[in-house]
Amino acid sequence: MKVSRLAAHLVAVLGFSISLAANAQTVLKVGWTNTIDSHYGIAMTTFGDEIAKRTNGRYKLQYFPAGALGGEREMLEAVQLGTQDLIITSTGPVGNFVAETRIVDIPFLFRDYAHARKVLDGPIGQDILAKFPAKGLVAISWMENGFRHVTNSKKPIVTPEDLKGMKIRTMENKVHMEAFKAMGALPTPMNMNEVFTALQTGTVDGQENPIPVILANKLYTVQKYLSLTSHVYSPALLILNKGLWDKLSAADKASFQEAAKIALVANRKKVNDDEANGIAVIEKAGTLVNKVDLSLFQKATASAYVQYNKDYGEANIKKIQDVK
């Protein structure tokens, strides 16, 4: 009788332990450089909510916005090493890890949002994502920043000539730097965490970013002019550590992928809303906003295409441009 009771107790304890193991929660550390209420923050909190719901709480995201874990390159290195689990990042530093991503940063490559989104959601964009696992990273979704514009503290940028000699902060991205060199500017790569102070102190004259990023980081509060150059469409990426991804079950991988799709919808909606309402916010703060003749800027960056065609393949560039 005592043996039977002991056996029953052991079975109960074992069953409880198995149940605890099955329901154990894994906390995943995710970082980004923009604020929690930005288009990045909206994407990641949506992603986290969907992950928790789809895995019955077995996975939970711990958020580190506003550069709390460092700059984008530092965080990418941490994700690659596995000391950080996920990141949502601009493409700025990603080309240093996966060179094939640089092609999407070419100026005036995309006609509009519909064109960019169709390319990235389609075979071309998905083929680029397939290059990440070989580098110890898994990019499960494209995200979005928007079309980039120039702000500065000196004067309105009406023509490319207005940029000559101007020190403009760019991302750590040689594609962007080549474009600004072609326009006569002095591109100055800088960690996003340092940009506000650099603009405030005059270390650089200006910077270039999409409206959602300008809003989220309040860059317009330390700049006098915003020129709507739309010179580059700027995507973003949701990236995981490959070791983490490989440990997920097939069902959990599917949950992560479905959550990423829903997060992308939320991210793009926030970008759309910021594009629709952001100019008014920026103007109300006293920043002067001007439109430009885009054809002048296209001509000014045409010389850079010689190098782009060499680096990324003229046929590959044309393939993107030809998507309707």
> Which amino acid appears at position 148 of this protein?
R
- Indicate the pLDDT class of residue 172, thresholds 50, 70 and 90: confident
Task: State the average pLDDT for the chain.
Answer: 94
Q: pLDDT, tens digit, for every residue of 69-98?
A: 999 999 999 999 999 999 999 999 999 999
Q: pLDDT, tens digit, for every residue of 110-131?
A: 999 999 999 999 999 999 999 9
Per the model's pLDDT, the better-predicted residue between 41 and 13 turns out to be 41
For the residues 191-211, what does the mean pLDDT come to? 97
Q: Determine the Cα angle at 34 with ends 29 and 40, to 5°.
A: 70
Task: Say whether pLDDT at 181 is over 90.
Answer: yes
Q: What CATH class is the domain 24-321?
A: alpha beta
Q: pLDDT, tens digit, for every residue of 48-66?
A: 999 999 999 999 999 999 9
Q: Is the pTM of this model over 0.85?
A: yes
Quickly count: other Cβ atoms within 10 Å of residue 176's Cβ: 26
Give residue limits of the domains in the chain: 24-321
The residues near 49 (Cβ < 8 Å, ≥ 6 apart) are none
